[in-house]
Structure 1
Amino acid sequence: MKNNIRLLCGLLIILFCEYLITTATAFAQNKNILILHSYHQEYPWTNSENNGFTQTLINRFRSGNINFSTEYLDTKRVELNKGYQDFFYLYLKQKYVHYSPDLIFCSDDDALSFLLKFKEKLFEHVPVVFCGVNNLEVQNDLDRQQYTGVFEKKEIIPNLALLKKLIPNQDKILFLGDNSSTYQAITQTIIADIASQLPEQKYAFLANDSLSYLIKQLQLYKEGVIFLTTIGGIKDENSVVVPLKNTLNAIVSAGNFIIISMEDAYLEEGILGGYVTSGFSQGKEAANLAVQVLQGNSPASIPLVEESPNQYIFNYPQLKKNGLTISQLPENTLILNRFQSLYDLYKYRIWSAFLFILFQTLVIFALVQNIRKRKKAETSLQKARKDLEERVIERTLELTETNTNLNNEVKERQRAEKNIESQNRLMSTLLDNLQVGVFMVEVPTAKPLLANRRAKELLGRDIANGADKTTLAEVYQAFKLGSEELYPEDEMPIVRAFSGEKHSIELTFRTCKKKFQELCELC
């Protein structure tokens, strides 16, 4: 089981890599595309289709070059009869005798009709992608191995439904056209749609390729609702095709009409708008199909696009003139020529400037706060430094005073020590010159402190630092006179003198190896 899963994953990876390689190879190669438009180059609808197709392909084929060769049948100004078709066929045959396109793109019914008749003679087996074709029945004539494309449908039902919502009880509805083959195809679709979905709807058709005739008829109507189907082939008295803008101006001026457009190319001044076909969207959708063909897919594997990429588009001045509001329109409606305030015109710049100023304000505020904090910190630091300096000065003064006092004290002690030393020397001299022995002890320990020269001679030794009242008799070998008994501690005259007694005693110090008597007056 695991081996089968691994095998399947490996196969999928191989197929995916092969697809990427094939796609990359297809996109990397130069592509030659022949474009055949039904109408003339200046016609707005044709120009939109061409831009939608070429721009989309150029964006998709960034790694390779797309070479476009463009031709115009010009059937708005020239009748597509047998003689003209034969002439155009010979023209193309001679011009492109050494040219082999990778794909042919054609727009609208007349160009597709021409290719169905002459394409195999001119460019055998070359795939064709079309757009803007109104005649759905042409599907029966297509060789799906070579043809795919996008149909255009002037959808009347969404327009009528919206009209009833916006302007109720409007019975005068007129469909206006140039009586061309495209108009005939649109008319059949309108009749079928109304019959199936709005059978109670009343309407009429007005079609002619003469502008003067159409204007006279419209002046008889005076008012109502006009639906523009296709009017690019309308001519003047000299049978010359009238520029589209002039035709629209004449229709607008013919009466007090609400004019609904079914094509985005007609959205000029005075036209309300509607659910319209978009030339650019038609061309863009066709380009997406062309990409698949150029990648190696057969046209037969690419479904025909029968849902026309239409859109709600309205003219703001006409909405306002007829007392309509944008809120009454469907969502995602495109509004043209809308009055824009300075805010609407420069909204993004205003918001950008506001955000920039806000950002700058926040930065400045942050900097000011930071400066304030720093100043506060500096003030605190300066104060702390000043306090520290004052404390250092105070402490220095205190230390100086203390040091001076210590020096004075040291000097005073030194003087006192000198005085004491001098007095000690004087006393020592005096004591040493005495003919009697002087022996001084500490109270109450009886620790020997001082003995003059005569005492040392009598005692036979110097001061015994370790002696006290308990060992004094033993250390100095003090015996009771005439005995071998050390003088008891409690009877020692020196110890008894601590309590204020006075005694005269006779002692024998054997260390002197002679006997003598000494009268001691102790206090």
Structure 2
Amino acid sequence: MRILFLLFLAVFLFAKNILIINSYSIKLPWTKGELEGILEKINNKQNLKIFIEFMDTKYFQPTPMRMLNYYYYLKDKYKNINFDIVITTDDNALNFVRKYKNEPIFSNAKVFFAGVNNLKLADTLPKNVYAGVFEKKEPLVNLNFAKKIVPNLKTVYVVADNSNSAKAVMKEYKNAFKNIKSPTLIYLNEKNLENILETIKKAPKNSAMLLLTPFSFSLEDSHISYKYAIVLISQVFPHPIIIHTDLLANVPNSNVVGGKATDALTQGKEAGKKVLEYLSGTPMQKIGFTFEKANKMYLNVLNLKKFGIDAYALGYKNAIYVNKPRTFYEMYKEWIIGSIIIFFAVLMMIVILILKNIQLKKYNEKISKMNKELEEKIFSALSELKEKEKLLLHQTKVSAIGEMFLMVSRKIKEKLHKLLEKEETKEEATYILNKLTMIEKYFNDSSVLEFDLKEATKEVVYSLKDVLNEGLVEIKGENIYIFGYKNKFQQVILDFLYNMSKFQNEIEKIIFEFKEDKIEIHIRFKHFSKNLIDNFENVLNNELYYTRLIMQQYFCSECNYRVDKNSVIMEIIL
């Protein structure tokens, strides 16, 4: 904790205090550009505390009394701060600091500047205290530019307001042009724009204008913006206007064609670089002053085209082209961006709909599958229910027949016992009684026992010999013994033979052949026909349904049949 406190204290004690004083308001694009350039360079430097002030001397003339009051304002505001560095933008701020340099607020500070027009200061400022960027114009370069774009140039108007900066720049231009005899140079340096407009509207045909500083013009005793001033000048002066400050390169509705101009952002960056050099340990004497380095050639493409000049054919290297013809994208930027947004919104909606459709399709497929499975289950359940109904009906039918047969059998037996008492009917009554007893076993006996399938079949055939045609049934093969319900097996044979008795006039032979693993029943027809087979298959599928079910339930056997020539062969797989 103590170490952190010491580090914080060290940072506070050794931090550099920087005061930036701007001659004009932050609302002025030139000042804004200079300040942005300075801050771009020094803002990322650690251990700097930066304070910013604006003098606003474009609107409030820097009179001695105002400057004194401004000094007292700063002195009171920053009475507890010792400035290590002061940075000024443009002439008025530098002149202010120079005047009060020996006062406590500025006495220990190194002074850096940008945008200064008074070039004579380069010879008088002490280089161990001052370093910066002069706003050195290039009058001869711009005069040659005017000659390039105005064939047979006759007259050049050099125009500026009457601010201190304007007076310094005007003096610089007059000095540069002192040996120029052609074209004719007319200097207009005053605050009242009305007087200037009155003069330039009489300009001859082959004329041009060098516009220096239009920032402090007044119209009808009121200050006007530089943009409005340039528009008014362009309305009465239908000739090329050449500028010396980047701020004026692209004023709408004007005749400004460009020129070699000082660049506010570059001015600020150059000043900021000099501050960093000093902070890195470079002596002030080696940092010095910069002049033309911050100047750039600006060409207004559309305004030059208005005067029949191709900006790109003038041959200036590294020129900055402004007011270029708008591309299709620039012209319809909002529409294009809006269309792109709408396109992607629609595309997104389509993608969402496609995904939803795919999802819906999957749901539908799932529902369809579930419906199909449900239908199959319902169909299976209905089929099973029908089978059970069919079974129940058959069982009821067989049960009713069995009960009825047993009831009738008992009554017949009672009468037969009476007949047995008579000698003449005793033998026949005994035969009938034995038959009835045998058939009763088919329905009553439900015990599991070992029995011979072949012999059990013979018993059934024997019990039906009065019903079946003689010789209709033949039994052959092996004797097969199994454990099971003999009465159930005999019910199967009885049910089968009973149903076959319906066709015995068409059947030539029924052969039971007992084998080790199955029983084959060959039904051979006298006259084979499709209609007969259809009727026969109906009996096998419906009437003998209970028969097949008993074999499956009690003997785990399968019953199948096939048609072979004039025969139907049934197989009971054991």
Structure 1 position 157 matched with structure 2 position 140: yes
Rounded Cα–Cα distance in structure 2 between residues aligned with 1:36 and 1:66: 16
Letter in 1 for 2:113: F
Letter in 2 for 1:247: A
Structure 1 position 47 matched with structure 2 position 29: no
- Tell me the alpha carbon deviations over residues 29-71 of structure 1, each in whole angstroms, 9 at most, x when there is no partner: 7443211111122111111111111112225x2xx25432111
Partner of 2:291: 306
Rounded Cα–Cα distance in structure 2 between residues aligned with 1:237 and 1:89: 32
1:189-268 matches, within 5 Å, as: 189-195=172-178, 198-221=180-203, 224-238=207-221, 240-267=222-249, 268=251
Q: Say if 1:54 and 1:287, in contact at 8 Å, map to a contact too.
A: yes
- Tell me the alpha carbon deviations over residues 227-272 of structure 1, each in whole angstroms, 9 at most, x when there is no partner: 111121112323x431222112111112312111111111212211
SS of 2:239's equivalent? strand
Partner of 2:320: 334
SS of 2:52's equivalent? strand
Letter in 1 for 2:314: Q
Give 1:32's match in structure 2, choosing from 14, 17, 27: 17
1:454-465 matches, within 5 Å, as: none
Give 1:134's match in structure 2, choosing from 98, 117, 137: 117
- Tell me the alpha carbon deviations over residues 115-159 of structure 1, each in whole angstroms, 9 at most, x when there is no partner: 110122122120000111111112343122211111111211111
Give 2:305's match in structure 1, choosing from 305, 320, 323: 320
Letter in 2 for 1:180: S
Rounded Cα–Cα distance in structure 2 between residues aligned with 1:106 and 1:341: 40
Structure 1 position 98 matched with structure 2 position 80: yes
Could you tell me how far 1:278 is from its partner in structure 2? 0.5
Partner of 1:183: 166
Letter in 2 for 1:324: I
- Greater RCO (CA < 8 Å, at least 6 residues apart): 1
Gaps of 5+ in 1: 1-24, 350-523
Structure 1 position 69 matched with structure 2 position 69: no
Aligned structure 1 segments of 4 or more residues deviating by more than 6 angstroms: 343-346
Total equivalences in the alignment: 320
Rounded Cα–Cα distance in structure 2 between residues aligned with 1:105 and 1:157: 30
- Cα distance change, pair 65–317 in 1 and its aligned pair in 2 (3 A): farther
Q: Say if 2:146 and 2:208, in contact at 8 Å, map to a contact too.
A: no
Rounded Cα–Cα distance in structure 1 between residues aligned with 2:108 and 2:285: 13
Letter in 2 for 1:184: K
Structure 1 position 294 matched with structure 2 position 293: no
Q: Among all aligned residue pairs of Structure 1 and Structure 2, give the percentage whose two residues are the same amino acid.
A: 29
Structure 1 position 56 matched with structure 2 position 23: no
Q: Say if 1:116 and 1:142, in contact at 8 Å, map to a contact too.
A: no
SS of 2:275's equivalent? helix
Q: Say if 2:150 and 2:208, in contact at 8 Å, map to a contact too.
A: no
- Tell me the alpha carbon deviations over residues 475-496 of structure 1, each in whole angstroms, 9 at most, x when there is no partner: xxxxxxxxxxxxxxxxxxxxxx
- Cα distance change, pair 68–281 in 1 and its aligned pair in 2 (3 A): same
Partner of 2:493: none
Q: Say if 2:117 and 2:136, in contact at 8 Å, map to a contact too.
A: yes
SS of 1:119's equivalent? coil
Q: Say if 1:29 and 1:65, in contact at 8 Å, map to a contact too.
A: yes
1:356-375 matches, within 5 Å, as: none
Rounded Cα–Cα distance in structure 2 between residues aligned with 1:34 and 1:279: 19
1:439-450 matches, within 5 Å, as: none
Letter in 2 for 1:44: P
- Cα distance change, pair 199–300 in 1 and its aligned pair in 2 (3 A): farther
- Tell me the alpha carbon deviations over residues 470-515 of structure 1, each in whole angstroms, 9 at most, x when there is no partner: xxxxxxxxxxxxxxxxxxxxxxxxxxxxxxxxxxxxxxxxxxxxxx
Q: Say if 1:36 and 1:104, in contact at 8 Å, map to a contact too.
A: yes
TM-score of the two chains, using structure 1 as the length reference:
0.57
Partner of 2:533: none
Q: Say if 2:170 and 2:189, in contact at 8 Å, map to a contact too.
A: no
Rounded Cα–Cα distance in structure 2 between residues aligned with 1:98 and 1:31: 14
Rounded Cα–Cα distance in structure 1 between residues aligned with 2:300 and 2:137: 19
- Cα distance change, pair 308–192 in 1 and its aligned pair in 2 (3 A): farther
Letter in 2 for 1:104: V
Rounded Cα–Cα distance in structure 2 between residues aligned with 1:210 and 1:39: 20
Could you tell me how far 1:303 is from its partner in structure 2? 2.1
- Cα distance change, pair 192–255 in 1 and its aligned pair in 2 (3 A): closer
Which protein has the bigger strand share? 2
Partner of 2:546: none
Letter in 1 for 2:212: T
TM-score of the two chains, using structure 2 as the length reference:
0.52
Letter in 2 for 1:47: K
Letter in 2 for 1:159: N
Letter in 2 for 1:33: I
- Tell me the alpha carbon deviations over residues 274-319 of structure 1, each in whole angstroms, 9 at most, x when there is no partner: 1111111111111111111222333222121133411111112101
SS of 1:221's equivalent? coil
- Cα distance change, pair 74–181 in 1 and its aligned pair in 2 (3 A): same
SS of 1:120's equivalent? coil
SS of 1:33's equivalent? strand
Rounded Cα–Cα distance in structure 2 between residues aligned with 1:248 and 1:65: 44
- Cα distance change, pair 73–255 in 1 and its aligned pair in 2 (3 A): same
More moved, 220-229 vs 169-178: 220-229
Could you tell me how far 1:342 is from its partner in structure 2? 3.7
Letter in 2 for 1:136: L
Q: Say if 2:299 and 2:321, in contact at 8 Å, map to a contact too.
A: yes
Structure 1 position 273 matched with structure 2 position 258: yes
Structure 1 position 166 matched with structure 2 position 149: yes
Rounded Cα–Cα distance in structure 2 between residues aligned with 1:252 and 1:132: 26
